[in-house]
Amino acid sequence: MNPAPDETINNGYQRPRDPVEIWLARQWQDVLGFAVGIRENFFGVGGNSLDAARVIDAVLVEFGVQLPLNVLTERPTVERLATLLRDHAERLSGPLVAIQDGDGNRPPLFLVHPDNGQVGPYCRLAHALGEEFAVFGIQAVGLYSDAEPHRTVPAMAAAYVDTVRAVRPTGPYLLGGCAIGAAIAYEMAARLDDVRLLAAIDAELLEPPDTVTESWSHTPPGPWDLPGILASWQERDLTPRDTEPEFVARSLCVWRANQDAVRDWRPSSYTGPLDVFGRPPAMARLAAVVQRTHECGADGHLADALRELLG
């Protein structure tokens, strides 16, 4: 018999906010057979004790942490379970983030981070596309570790191509991104053979813009601003409650590197088409590239348009 759900209720899909929550949400999807948000109760959506044991085994393999058998009774949501694992998540700090496994019948979609370096917003897109589609995010180097961020778009593209080839040595390749992610995906496409899709996505089609990060262009924050920025992100549910102020400092470093990189970017030659969703910036630099425009507002139209191209 399953434990009774606690006070946590399902208020609709709430996306993961960091690599640990993304990893846990993917495990739950594999175990339960469907996607869940970070505040949905494991037992309330149909999980049982055998399913819980599978999650515990997966945690041991990935993190080397042996959780007690009753852990999902006490922490029955992705959000609450993730708090036990963040101190052991070094392996999740690399560029490649598996968001959704898919059914194996079509190539995976690789989505490159925007200016803030995070891939969480792509989780909502993966959820809207459907469970049959495999989706990987590529997050910025240095966001969840002390590594130095890459400083140019070509350097990011070269590193991310190696990352993609490590899991998919040959095409066809499906690439996309928003903001600087579109520029990086473009440079990746120029370096890969058999690119079936190159998508430039308007970031506002994924979720509302982060006004705090946008303000950095006009008023760069100082060290004294970091706690207030973190509190603002947490209030708007953009970062977990146990995130440390150091994450804001790393985010600022990544954001600055990405701003400098896209400012200095000079596009390589690419002969394939570019599918443009909404009105992403920097497309004027690609005037010589064949662009196929897809006008799509919010409310799932982006996922519908992408799904047609993914097949």
SS3 letters for 44-82?
A: CCCCCHHHHHHHHHHHHHHHCCCCCCCHHHHCCCHHHHH
Q: What pLDDT is recorded for position 11? A: 43
At residue 218, the pLDDT reads 75
With a cut of 70, which residues of the chain have pLDDT below it? 1-12, 282, 297-300
DSSP 8-class letter at 269: P
The amino acid sitting at 136 is F
Q: What is the pLDDT of residue 216?
A: 81
- pLDDT confidence of residue 285: 80
Over residues 15-47, the pLDDT tens digits come to 999 999 999 999 999 999 999 999 999 999 999
pLDDT of residue 12: 67
pLDDT of residue 2: 40
pLDDT of residue 268: 94
* Cα angle 95, 258, 247; round to 5: 65
pLDDT of residue 289: 87
Instruction: Say how far apart CA 257 and CA 188 lie, in whole Å.
Output: 18
Q: Cβ contacts of residue 80 below 8 Å, gap of 6+?
A: none
Whole-number pLDDT of residue 186 = 97
115 and 23 in contact (C-beta within 8 Å)?
A: no
pLDDT at 9: 35
